[in-house]
Structure 1
């Protein structure tokens, strides 16, 4: 059982460009920081790093809005080209709204990967390009798996990798980092059948392990700090064949659908 966990924001990560070798870059940053990955370490990396390396940036000049995008754009005072990107990334629009005090409205969407988020996680901030939109990697789990395999081989260590993104939460203010891609890290830890401290059986307890890890990285990362990777050490976990989708609630259990 873990009684102490350390979180270290990895220093010296350069601006990532399309086609960059993330494994080589992170290995170099770890070495320069006199850090070597050990068995049980978990590396959390922001989604933007993967998206930039995989060329997931769309110049808005290349986008032709559909009639649906034009309609949403007018209703929400949003650039219809960005709306078009959002629609292409979405399985459905859950809800759209614009409060009187807002300059630009919001689209709550079910992303093609199953996540529910604002604007289907399409972003225009913190990646250094004007008049462009960034989308999520095509397969976050595969991206995590490639990075984990390379780093595990480089450092001869049993490690895990989590891809994080920043989401809002229904009925709560503010945003937290959540897990959208996993490699070997459990999505949840099933406690059903175990006993609590008073000997009573646990029936529904299932900590969201991957999201707990992702949220914790926000304590040492700042949006303007250029520290998109965090090393967590001291956690008690066992490698598992996991996917980011494993943390999504089944649609038949969704009481608000």
Structure 2
């Protein structure tokens, strides 16, 4: 049976030993096969990924690898970009929520490495096999609202590849690959919430997904660019096509 419950932590500040603090909060509560869903904000705080709010726009630019879409609105400009972590998200993940006044948070520099460090330390401390998922909130194309997804992971299978198996009617499955790390992140968000002060959740009942620490991390979930059918926003794709059309016309005999 699947169960998910949240755990409170003290306020995290740069330099904190996050694995020790999480371990203290979970002492006596963990079972083999548990998966910990850890909000990325506390990882960012512990790793010192905190900057002045006045530097937010510059930070978004610095964290951007590729611009997907840019839209002006009465409150300013929204930038949907691919960031250094390979994630496509608004503002490169630079976030002003749940952080001290006058500051904003960057995402962990390498969320998979952060998850691995936590999983390694907690497995050693409690002498049991567990997984770690680092979560962040994302918007979704074609859907209103946001949900949490896995941006880092260690010690779990992040995808459940069902291709080659059969459905309940005996038909072969050829494309079904379940993004179980994202599903874990979303389930955990239901109990962690955004303002509860409980940034860690224990997800129990999915021990079949827990495995070696050298399993691929959450970065492996990102779709390769050559398979991305929606690489640009609508306006950006139209503008790129228009430019290509002009160039082709200029080169025509």
TM-score category (smaller protein): 0.7 to 0.9
1:78-119: per-residue Cα shift (whole Å, max 9, x none)?
xxx3211101001021111123xx423311010111110000
* Aligned partner of residue 220 in structure 1, secondary structure: helix
Equivalent position to 2:91, from 112, 119, 122: 119
* 1:168 aligns to 2:139 (yes or no): yes
Mapped to 2, the partners of 1:251 and 1:176 lie a distance apart of: 23
Correspondence for 2:160: 189
Conserved? CA contact 1:187–1:243, under 8 Å: yes
Aligned partners of 1:52 and 1:114: how far apart in 2? 21
SS of the aligned residue for 2:192 comes to coil
Distance 1:104 1:230 in 2: 35
Match of 1:86?
60
Residue pair 2:4, 2:202 contacting (<8 A) in 1 also: yes
1:25 to 21, 34, 40: 21
Aligned counterparts of 2:111 and 2:122: Cα–Cα separation in 1: 17
Q: Pairwise mapping of residues 8-157 of structure 1 onto structure 2 (< 5 A)?
A: 8-11=5-8, 13-31=9-27, 34-35=28-29, 37-60=30-53, 81-99=55-73, 102-128=74-100, 130-157=101-128
* TM-score (normalised: structure 1): 0.85
User: Are 2:53 and 2:96, in contact at CA under 8 Å, matched by a contact in 1?
Assistant: no
Structure 2: tracts of 5 or more residues without a match: 232-253
Name which one, 1 or 2, has greater alpha-carbon Rg.
2
Give the aligned partner of residue 252 of structure 1: 226
- For 2:202, which of 231, 237, 244 is the aligned residue? 231
Q: TM-score scaled by structure 2?
A: 0.87
Alpha-carbon RMSD across the aligned residues, in angstroms, is: 1.3
Counterpart CA distance in 2 for 1:131 and 1:225 is 21
SS in 2 for 1:98: strand
Higher helix share: 2
| Conserved 8 A contact 1:38-1:155 | no
For residues 24-52 of structure 1, the C-alpha deviation after alignment (integer angstroms, 9 at most, x for no partner) is: 11111112xx41x2211000000001000
What is the SS of the residue equivalent to 1:218? Answer: helix
Identify which of 197, 201, 211 aligns with 2:172: 201
SS at match of 2:219: helix
Once residues 233 and 165 of structure 1 are traced to their aligned partners in structure 2, the CA distance between those partners, rounded to angstroms, is 20
**How far apart, CA to CA, are the structure 1 residues paired with 2:23 and 2:78?**
38
Equivalents in 2 of 1:205, 1:167: separation in Å?
22
1:42-80 Cα deviation digits (max 9, x unpaired): 00000001000000001245xxxxxxxxxxxxxxxxxxx
- Structure 1 stretches of 5 or more lacking a match? 62-80
